[in-house]
Amino acid sequence: MSGQVHVAVTRRIRAECIPEFERELNAFASRSLADPRSRGVQLLYPAPGSGSREYGILRSFAGPADRDAFYASAFYREWIASVEHMQEAAPVFREVEGLEAWFREPHHAMPPRWRMALLTWAAVWPVSMLVPLLMGPLLPKSLPLFVRAGFISAGIVLVLTWAAMPLLVRAAQPWLHPKPSSPPRP
């Protein structure tokens, strides 16, 4: 059985096409979530005021077969045809694994693994304490321990995926990607 696959795609968009591309991208991402092969999508927009026109799409699949089928689908090919003229160059595809999936930024190198691990720990620790505290009273006491643990761990994963990690990664950008120090002046 293959593990989950994460694909990061970076697209550089022509300045005059940005509003149209953003509309198309949002509609495509929303519709693509109904595809049974897709396990999620995250859109990365250029930072306001950065002057960047690079857009990132991080998409997850259950495995390589689902990834290949999605990218070969008529649905995907039609979207590509509708936005191809908006791009300055061919998109860049990159498969990401493990912690990289949280930290992938189109215009930054990957941060050191120790920083990714430390930031992940900083998110998991409070979430793993808060979710059981909030969910515990809502679950029937008659449920077997392994079923209760399953619900609580699902809650932890949901909070990490859609709230804690995106917020923490965004807040920690200066630490994850520090600007190089300038050389001393003579």
Q: 30-56 pLDDT, tens per residue?
A: 888 888 888 888 888 887 777 888 898
Global model pTM greater than 0.75: no
Q: How far, in Å, CA of 153 to CA of 175, rounded?
A: 29
Which residue stretches of the chain are H helix? 18-32, 64-72, 74-83, 100-103, 113-135, 145-159, 165-171, 173-176
- What CATH class is the domain 5-103? alpha beta
Q: 105-135 pLDDT, tens per residue?
A: 655 667 787 888 899 899 999 999 999 999 9
Residues spanned by CATH 3.30.70.100 within the chain? 5-103
